[in-house]
Amino acid sequence: MRSYPRHRESHRTDRIGWLRAAVLGANDGIVSTASLVVGVAAAHATRGSVLLTGVAGLVAGAMSMAAGEYVSVCSQADTEKADLAREKAELKAQPAAEHQELAAIYGRRGVAPRLAAQVAEQLMEHDALGAHARDELGVSATLAAQPLQAAAASAGSFAVGAILPLAVAVVAPERGLIVAVAASALVFLAVLGALAARVGGASVWTGSARVTFWGALAMAITAGVGALFGAVA
């Protein structure tokens, strides 16, 4: 068998799993905690009540993110395992049909029919299940679901994101607390969006503007609700 030299490359798709969970967690941590603090402060609550609400939001949010991400990614992993088990059974029962199916996939990608059949044959001889998992099902080791990794990244990043507006709420003067928390949260979101876009290879300005806009909208609505209920109370 001919051996080929390995050419090591680094692709951004290797980061998709943990990057998505980490960015989502940090974004939610900043937005939800800052919105809670701003909303409760707008209702004329005491600083102690504001901080207690923020801490409770941090703990509850981190656990919710971890549980939600774990369940979601576990469901994805279960689906992938079921599809792989079915594909394995089909390969055992109908290898010729599976070969034709794989060759047809390469043919639709522009490979000549005879060459497509040869490629499918060689790949199936090397790793039939791996070839079908990758090219028919779209499942690969790089993009495979990893529930624990996603849950830990979500919970940890949420907590880190939530600590930022909480720290501002601790040091900011009570009279200017709402403005300080809201303004700093927008700065944190802008930096987070820019970093995530940079790591993912996307537009820094677009990523920054996107998360900042939605964060500002969330805080504005929460502040309005808090002020409304504070006036009623």
pTM of the entire predicted model = 0.68
Band the pLDDT of 123: cuts 50, 70, 90. confident
- Dihedral sign from CA coordinates of 187, 190, 196, 199: negative
- 27 domain-assigned: yes
Number of domains in the chain: 1
- 70 domain-assigned: yes
- 2 domain-assigned: no
Render pLDDT for 178-190 as a digit per residue (tens, 0 to 9): 999 999 999 999 9
* 36 pLDDT higher than 50: yes
- 9 domain-assigned: no
Q: Which domain holds residue 215?
A: 15-228
What percentage of the chain reaches a pLDDT higher than 70?
85
- 6 domain-assigned: no
- 10 domain-assigned: no
Long-range contacts of 143-148 (CB under 8 A, 24+ apart): 143/13, 143/16, 143/17, 144/77, 144/80, 145/17, 145/73, 145/74, 145/76, 145/77, 145/80, 146/17, 146/73, 146/77, 147/69, 147/70, 147/73, 147/74, 147/77, 148/70
Average pLDDT (106-115) is: 84
Compute the distance between CA of residue 118 and CA of residue 124 in angstroms, rounded to an integer. 10
Distances (CA, A) of 132 to 53, 68, 100, 143, 169: 51, 30, 11, 15, 53
Would you state the torsion angle of the CA atoms of residues 101, 106, 108, 113, taken in this order, to the nearest 10 degrees?
-90
Compute the distance between CA of residue 205 and CA of residue 104 in angstroms, rounded to an integer. 42
Using a 10 angstrom Cβ sphere, with 0-12 exposed, 13-18 middle and 19 or more buried, the burial of residue 8 is exposed
Angle at 201 between CA 198 and CA 203, to 5 degrees: 70
- 33 domain-assigned: yes
Residues whose CB is less than 8 angstroms from the CB of residue 23 and which lie 6 or more positions away in sequence, other chains included: 157, 192, 196
Per the model's pLDDT, the better-predicted residue between 127 and 14 turns out to be 127
What is the pLDDT at residue 1? 43
- 19 domain-assigned: yes
Render pLDDT for 128-150 as a digit per residue (tens, 0 to 9): 777 777 777 777 655 556 788 87
